A and B are shown apart, each in its own frame.
Chain A
């Protein structure tokens, strides 16, 4: 499922809303999550999962092709932990 398919499905379930409003709703949700993570905040959606940011220290990496060492500076990476309820749903057949 892509973002546009998600919007399409929601638009069908909510015929009283304009398609462009459904689009704005979906965009707003993902933008809000992105902004929170950019501020270093955690996003916790019970039953679904939690997004957080983890810091990676600077390290000396290697170019796997040439073997040259390269300095990799400190950076932050997004992380998602699946919620308990969704994890259980994925495993009930």
Chain B
């Protein structure tokens, strides 16, 4: 399905083509966007990007897990996980070209 992967380099190129900034500054802006989103999430803030989706933090309680190899019981400590919910617009775009 996915013969190529999009990375920071392609996002930087898209920004470079769209706005009249240098490649270097375009790369920095891509980084700043990711850092702002990460920073908000680390502060415990949800991030909502309209027509794309939302990122939220979910707090997981402690539970007992098992090492699948040895069968040994190990406690899984309480932790925070990031969940992404795609918007309807994104879901529709993914399916219209399929």
Interface pairs A-B: 10 shortest CB-CB: A80-B84, A36-B6, A1-B40, A78-B86, A43-B6, A32-B14, A82-B82, A42-B2, A28-B18, A90-B80
Q: Mark A67-93, 1 if CB is under 8 A from B, else 0.
A: 000000001111110100011011100
- Give chain B nearest CB distance to A30 CB in angstroms: 5
Known: A25-B33, A29-B15, A86-B41. 14 other contacts (CB 8 A): A2-B47, A2-B48, A6-B37, A10-B33, A14-B29, A25-B15, A32-B14, A33-B52, A37-B93, A40-B98, A42-B5, A48-B37, A51-B84, A52-B2
Instruction: Please report the C-alpha to C-alpha distance between residue A79 and residue B2 in the assembled complex, in whole angstroms.
Output: 14
Bound CA span A55–B33, Å: 29
Enumerate chain A residues within 8 angstroms of B80, measured Cβ to Cβ: 90-91
Contact of B90 among A3, A40, A49, A78 (CB under 8 A): A78
Interface size grouping (class) on chain A = 35 or more
Q: Determine which of A6, A28, A37, A76 lies in contact with B19 in the assembled complex, contact meaning CB atoms within 8 Å.
A: A28
Which residues of B come within 8 Å of A, CB atoms? 1-8, 10-11, 14-15, 18-19, 21, 26, 29-30, 32-34, 36-38, 40-42, 45-53, 55, 57, 79-82, 84, 86, 90-91, 93-98
